[in-house]
Amino acid sequence: MKRIFLSLIFVLIFQYGFSQNATLKRYGDAWQMEVDGKPFLILGGELGNSSASCPEDIRINFAKLKRMGLNTVLVPAYWDLTEPEEGRFDFSLTDKVLEEARKNNLKIVFLWFGAWKNSMSCYAPMWFKKDYRKYPRAYTQEGKPLEIASVFSENVFSADNKAFRVWLTHIAEVDKGYGTVIMLQIENEIGMLEDARDHSEIADRYFNAEVPDQLTEYLVKNKSLLHPYLSGKWQENGSRTEGTWKDVFGDDIYTDEIFMSWHYASYVERMAASARKIYDVPLFVNAAMNSRGRKPGEYPSAGPLAHLIDIWHCAAPSIDLIAPDLYDDGFKGWTARYDLHNNPLFIPEIRHTQNNGVRAFYVFGEHNALGFSPFAVEDGSDDKGSPFVEGYAKLREMMPLITKWQGKDAMWGLLFDQNDKERVIEDGDNLLICRHNFTLPWDPRATDGSVWPEGGGIIIRLAEDEYVVAGNGIVVEFATVQESLAVTAPGSLGEDGFASEGSHGYEAADMIWKGVRCGIGSVDEVSVNEDGSFSRIRRLNGDQTHQGRHVRISVGDFKVLHVRLYSYE
């Protein structure tokens, strides 16, 4: 068992505190991660909560994750196993993670499970839990103590931060020259449960004190840029810049949440400041969603949620981004909430399903996401034919192309299902009519009552009248804006392009045709080379393009298509 004494901390910080080979940089309207000087998309997966607590599990899982096509693994680091006795540290699990990551050419995002994990203090060591007078708990309004360490206790912070610093100092030592660790998450789904805020005696004192000048000055300075939720809450109470939390934000549980978010974020900022001095990689915090109509305290109140982003930005400026953990319906809506002008999108957790391949395509194309990471990924299939493995393989191939076009307003993401079947993209004079592949009637699953699997992908405009269409289960038609007004297609054409029995095929609108039409000049299925150039696999035409009417990628088949258009009158 490895031991480090606290007397060595500052020597090691001085010796090993250096900037790692992972940074965030702004390109156009997008943020990009660079690793080893190159743009990098996190094609990740998060291990289940207990899957990094056993060396043999780590060995087996990492080999499997390599076969699944991941380039990054999100791995818990457990305070209780790192500091089982106060002042005595064991880094054997961390070392095993780094060893197996390097063997399998994987990067690591460590998740510090310290004072809080899913609100609770379940990963705090026993010596910490038992001494609840030194390390006090949060309380409900009724006076019930919770298994939640108090954010207002300096003793809690000192113990948590000490372990965090010693652990990071070890990583800085053993990862020097490797750069295996590319991001850090501080705590996990931080927030209050059962009540919107802590009602302990010390918490009440802070709640009845003046709102810090740091926050009110931030509100005034950023008034026009505030999240609509916080802006509305502040303005409803007169946009006051002095007073208690009730005076400034009102007397309700939503003010309780704002108050707690300030203190959670302030705590995290102090942890982040430690990290910056020791191991300077991008830092983030993750949030459990305020979904299903739940109120603060019914979900982890005061976490790094989108509607509280200004509180977190003000109190924790060293944190690079807030990230959503997605387990609810409404995937498109949730991702849009966290792709903000002041927040790049990163999804550290999402329920692991086979449709995650197309969802990853969507967030990289639509939201310039930094990365995508299903939870308990080691439980999935590593079969090469599985949709998730195929999706990640194709995204890994496309990484040079996607990163080249991030932030240039020339890339779109598609995601369709049985209820959300179509999107029309207007790109200059061109219209791109995009649909789920099952809107073409000749696949039996389109009409036999089958549940449609999600279809999704990316469209990139390479030049005028030149596009890449990539993904799974999508069909794209191209038209000029003018011709889209002149001709309608009733959808009654068979796969051969002939009208169905009793159908009139295409029907003219009530106007005389004028103007230019858009045609498909060529469609090539391609592979993407490391420099972003293409190698043609095959030319697609005839039945594969519906005789030049559209381009399509069948459900269950990830492809990259290079499309050239032309115009005619």
3-state secondary structure 309-329: HHHHHHHCCCCCEEEEEECCC
Report the candidate in 354, 362, 352, 493 with the shortest Cα–Cα distance to residue 415. Answer: 362
Identify the domain boundary among 400, 422, 450.
400
Q: Are 279 and 178 in contact (CB under 8 A)?
A: no
> 416 with 378, same domain?
no
Looking at the DSSP assignment, which residues form a beta bridge with residue 487? 508
Asked if residues 525 and 513 have their Cβ atoms less than 8 Å apart, the reply is: no
If DSSP codes are grouped into helix, strand and coil, which group holds residue 224? helix
Domain boundary among 368, 400, 432: 400
Q: Looking at the structure, do residues 351 and 475 belong to the same domain, yes or no?
A: no
90 and 11 share one domain: yes
One digit per residue, pLDDT tens: the chain, 569 residues?
Answer: 444 444 444 434 334 444 468 999 998 889 999 999 999 999 999 999 999 999 999 999 999 999 999 999 999 999 999 999 999 999 999 999 999 999 999 999 999 999 999 999 999 999 999 999 999 999 999 999 999 999 999 999 999 999 999 999 999 999 999 999 999 999 999 999 999 999 999 999 999 999 999 999 999 999 999 999 999 999 999 999 999 999 999 999 999 999 999 999 999 999 999 999 999 999 999 999 999 999 999 999 999 999 999 999 999 999 999 999 999 999 999 999 999 999 999 999 999 998 999 999 999 999 999 999 999 999 999 999 999 999 999 999 999 999 999 999 999 999 999 999 999 999 999 999 999 999 998 889 999 999 999 999 999 999 999 999 999 999 999 999 878 666 554 455 565 666 665 555 555 455 566 788 999 999 999 999 999 999 999 999 999 999 999 999 999 999 999 999 999 98
Residue 559 carries which DSSP code? Answer: E
Total domains present in the chain: 2
- The whole-number pLDDT of residue 6 equals 41
Q: Count Cβ atoms within 10 A of the Cβ of residue 346 and give its class: 0-12 exposed, 13-18 middle, 19 or more buried.
A: buried
Domain that holds residue 39: 6-136+154-189+266-400
Q: Is 355 helix (H, G, I), strand (E, B) or coil?
A: coil
Please indicate, yes or no, whether residues 294 and 425 belong to a single structural domain of this protein. no
- The C-alpha atoms of residue 413 and residue 407 are separated, in whole angstroms, by 13
Which of 375, 400, 425 terminates a domain? The answer is 400
Within a domain: 200: no
Tokens of 343: 């927040």
Which of 184, 16, 171, 21 lies closest to 97, judged by CA? 171
Q: Clarify whether residues 424 and 376 are in a common domain.
A: no
Output the six-digit token pair for 238: 């007169």
Q: Is residue 471 part of a domain?
A: yes
Helix axes 356-367, 331-338, angle to 10 degrees: 40
DSSP E strands, 417-485: 422-427, 430-436, 455-463, 466-472, 474-480
User: Is the same domain home to 418 and 360?
Assistant: no
Same domain membership, residue 531 and residue 430: yes
Inside any domain, residue 245: no
Q: How far is the C-alpha of 536 from the C-alpha of 526, rounded, in Å?
A: 4
198 falls within a domain? no
Q: Which residues, listed in sequence order, are joined to residue 488 by a DSSP beta bridge?
A: 507
**Do 352 and 276 share a structural domain?**
yes
170 shares a domain with 34? yes
Quote the pTM value.
0.92
Task: Assess whether 436 and 333 both reside in one domain.
Answer: no
* 349 strand-pairing partners: 325
CB 407 within 8 A of CB 32: yes
The three-state secondary structure class of 45 is strand
Tell me if 173 sits within 8 A of 16, measured CB to CB.
yes
Distance CA 235, CA 10 (A): 46
How many angstroms separate the CA atoms of 170 and 95, rounded? 9
